[in-house]
């Protein structure tokens, strides 16, 4: 038999990573499920987090949108210039 070129060996290793065996798939699935289980929050905790941070974020969005409109629109630019002068 002729020896296998180095490039062929490297390509086989790379494509082997794209098509893992059953044992490796099982280990990957276990790791993914373990990570998913640690990241899970109850629905009540997610809602409480939403109500705690929602008003603060919404107020910031409103202020940012108003400032953007004041700068972008012609009337807003004139008002801003009048305030600064």
Domain ranges within the chain, ordered by starting residue:
1-40, 42-85
Q: What is the pLDDT of residue 52?
A: 81
| Per-block mean pLDDT, blocks of 10 residues, the chain (85 long) | 71 78 87 83 78 79 84 78 79
* pTM score, whole prediction: 0.34
SS (H, E, C) 61-79: HHHHHHHHHHHHCHHHHHH
**Is the torsion defined by CA of 59, 62, 68, 73 positive or negative?**
negative
């Amino acid at each position: 038999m002729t020896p296998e070129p180095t490039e062929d060996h490297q390509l086989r290793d790379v494509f082997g990573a794209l098509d893992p065996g059953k044992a490796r798939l099982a280990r990957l699935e276990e790791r993914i499920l373990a990570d998913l289980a640690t990241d899970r929050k109850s629905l009540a905790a997610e809602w409480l987090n939403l109500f705690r941070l929602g008003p603060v974020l919404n107020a910031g969005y409103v202020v940012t949108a108003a400032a953007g409109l004041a700068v972008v629109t012609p009337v807003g630019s004139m008002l801003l210039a009048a305030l600064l002068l």
